[in-house]
Structure 1
Amino acid sequence: MTPHEDGELLTDAIEYRSMGTTNHGLWLQANHDISLILAYCDADWASCSDSSRSTTSYAIFLGPNLVSWRSKKQPTVSKSSIEAEYRAITYTVQDTIFIRSLLAEMEVWLSTPVQLHCDNVSASYLVVNPIQHDRSKHIKIDYHFVRERVAHGDLVDKICSHTIAVS
């Protein structure tokens, strides 16, 4: 596949993803290196003064281009900052799976796992460590599908400083 064809496929994917947002715009850098998905996520624990629910935010890049982002109040109250961050990781990974699937449908294959950047060390350790600790027992098992993504090699978790977290 030529770089021109790769660009056309990526353009089609972006058009598909941005349907219904005709009043908005995306600025994309001309870059033929779309082999890496970088994802940054964060949670603001119990930030809503009325409901005590946390806010999740994330930004996902394909190469140098921002292709997905979100900031949303979490549906339930988190009992700890680790749980809030782990939920943010979960929502981010769900979106990266969708992006990888969309690219695969267009026969654009990524050779490297998604790099997930999270500024919460405890939540990052929970992603890669299958052992339940007393402090994390309250986190629901349904969020542990992120561990499966790490085990399959689809995801690499990276701890980053909150000062460089784009989300």
Structure 2
Amino acid sequence: MMVLSKQLQQAQQYCEQHALRLTEPRQRVLDALLSSKKPLGAYEVLQMLSTPEHTIKPPTVYRAIEFWLEHGFVHKLESLNAYMACCQSQCTENFCIFICKTCQTAIELVNKQLPLAVRQAMSQQQLVMTRSLTEIHGLCKACQTC
């Protein structure tokens, strides 16, 4: 729980420093993504947050996810159509995501050389990057022994 509170505290500080509102839905969505060991789809987040007494509508979840994506606290995994919290709180572009094809555990890997090589190759082809997230699929240590 200590890691969760640290990351939520960093998000709160970021919002305060940038005059952004940390609404209850935004905080709850980020908390759900931080507490999950696997990437979650928007409707999985919705199910986690909804109770019989308090129903949350899909646009609320999507808006909160978009907010965190925009500010670098969440990654969208295109291949899974799912989201995961950034383990480094607003990481730079020096990372990639490893996704286990069996258990779907996602791990954020920091690597300064991979983005540099991609940027150099793009520069040679006179291409301009607008967004980048490298996803690597394979087997995690636990699933290799199964």
TM above 0.5, yes or no, is no
Question: Which structure's relative contact order is higher, taking Cα pairs within 8 Å and 6+ residues apart?
Answer: 1
Higher helix content, 1 or 2: 2
TM-score norm. by structure 1 comes to 0.24
TM-score norm. by structure 2 comes to 0.26
Higher strand content, 1 or 2: 1
